[in-house]
């Protein structure tokens, strides 16, 4: 089942149709709905027949920068790029944040001399935008404090695999309106779906992200709603949550107390309905934002999401670098 009007494998074609993507991927807002669907189409093809792409990025090299600890991001990038024939080099900056030892401008100008692309997991979104501004090769945001576009692409791929048409999707994000929430808002609305964010007023999503999504929805048919009522999950296709305290964020007992009534448990899943799936980008704080019975239950797709990080990211790299 193709996500877009054009098939990746047209009869008589010698290879897949590659979507045209912008130079950088800093936020899902950099992509329109058609481009997102094209990336997902390509991800489906990559996942179905990876051997066809085993030399797609031969002789290419990608710098992988990490200011934060990583399991899924690092593993999916290193393994994924290797499967495409590319070389990756990891720069562990956890003890030396970008801009301290050397200014971001000089770092970027160096990296562009050796690498065909840079993927960075950073503390502040301003760092990734500065890196993209000064670097002549493509820059991919693999996580910042404001956006997590690679995760959102993987999430849409997972929803598609579950047979949920993106233009008819209704997804509820419940909990802290963080970077993952922002990217999901942009992705769902861009592809014509509906997202309901359920969060306490002090911890809702960025008003700028919401306003931009509302304007975009007028063109795509997508919709964004924000509420503090957990009952708003009734009838949704998927319930999505994330850690209440983001990586690098100071412990905040008051915030945790405010978010307690937004925990995803069996009663909340029952409100959503019998066909609703559960999603989480991981790592999970079991007993906090989600209980074991839900994340380990039959409706959980969290490990499908984790796997699909590799395929969604590979699709973007193939589209941009091959």
8 A C-beta contact, residue 11 and residue 127: no
| 74 catalytic residue (yes or no) | no
Name the β-bridge partners of 195.
171, 224
* Catalytic choice (309, 311, 313, 320): 309
* Catalytic choice (74, 125, 147, 148): 148
Alpha helical stretches, state H, 71-124 = 72-83, 104-114
C-alpha to C-alpha distance for 121 and 141, rounded to whole angstroms: 6
Strand-pair category, 223-227 with 117-121: unpaired
Judged by DSSP in three states, 81 sits in helix
Judged by DSSP in three states, 279 sits in strand
| 30 catalytic residue (yes or no) | no
* Catalytic choice (121, 147, 311, 320): 121
| 305 catalytic residue (yes or no) | no
* Catalytic choice (24, 155, 237, 242): 242
| 121 catalytic residue (yes or no) | yes
| 148 catalytic residue (yes or no) | yes
Could you tell me which residues come within 8 angstroms of residue 247 by beta carbon, excluding any fewer than 6 positions away?
Answer: 68, 69
| 170 catalytic residue (yes or no) | no
Give the CA dihedral 27, 96, 133, 138, nearest 10 degrees.
-60
8 A C-beta contact, residue 183 and residue 151: yes
Judged by DSSP in three states, 286 sits in strand
C-alpha to C-alpha distance for 189 and 170, rounded to whole angstroms: 10
* Catalytic choice (281, 311, 313, 320): 281
The residues that are catalytic are: 121, 148, 151, 242, 281, 309
């Amino acid at each position: 089942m193709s996500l877009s009007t054009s098939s990746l494998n047209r009869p008589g074609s010698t290879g897949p149709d590659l979507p045209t993507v912008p130079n950088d991927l800093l936020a899902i807002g950099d992509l329109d709905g058609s481009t997102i669907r094209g990336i997902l189409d390509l991800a489906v093809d990559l996942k179905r027949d990876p051997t066809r792409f085993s030399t797609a990025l031969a002789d290419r090299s990608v710098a992988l920068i990490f200011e934060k600890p990583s399991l899924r991001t690092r593993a999916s990038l290193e393994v994924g790029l290797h499967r495409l024939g590319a070389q990756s080099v990891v720069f562990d900056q956890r003890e030396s944040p970008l801009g301290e030892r050397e200014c971001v401008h000089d770092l970027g100008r160096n990296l562009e001399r050796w690498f065909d692309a840079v993927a960075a997991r950073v503390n502040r979104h301003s760092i990734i935008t500065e890196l993209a501004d000064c670097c002549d090769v493509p820059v991919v945001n693999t996580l910042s404090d404001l956006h997590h576009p690679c995760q959102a692409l993987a999430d849409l791929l997972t929803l598609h695999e579950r047979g949920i048409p993106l233009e008819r999707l209704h997804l509820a994000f419940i909990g802290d309106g963080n970077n993952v929430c922002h990217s999901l808002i942009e992705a769902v609305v861009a592809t014509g779906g509906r997202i309901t964010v359920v969060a306490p007023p002090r911890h809702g999503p960025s008003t700028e992200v919401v306003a931009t999504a509302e304007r975009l929805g007028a063109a795509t048919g997508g919709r964004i709603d924000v509420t503090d009522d957990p009952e708003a999950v009734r009838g949704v296709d998927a319930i999505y949550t994330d850690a209440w305290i983001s990586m690098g964020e100071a412990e905040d007992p008051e915030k945790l107390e405010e978010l307690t009534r937004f925990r995803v448990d069996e009663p909340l899943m029952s409100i959503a309905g019998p066909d609703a799936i559960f999603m989480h980008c991981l790592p999970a704080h079991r007993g906090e934002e989600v209980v074991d019975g839900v994340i380990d239950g039959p409706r959980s797709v969290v490990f499908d999401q984790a796997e699909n990080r590799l395929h969604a990211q590979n699709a973007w790299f193939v589209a941009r670098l091959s």
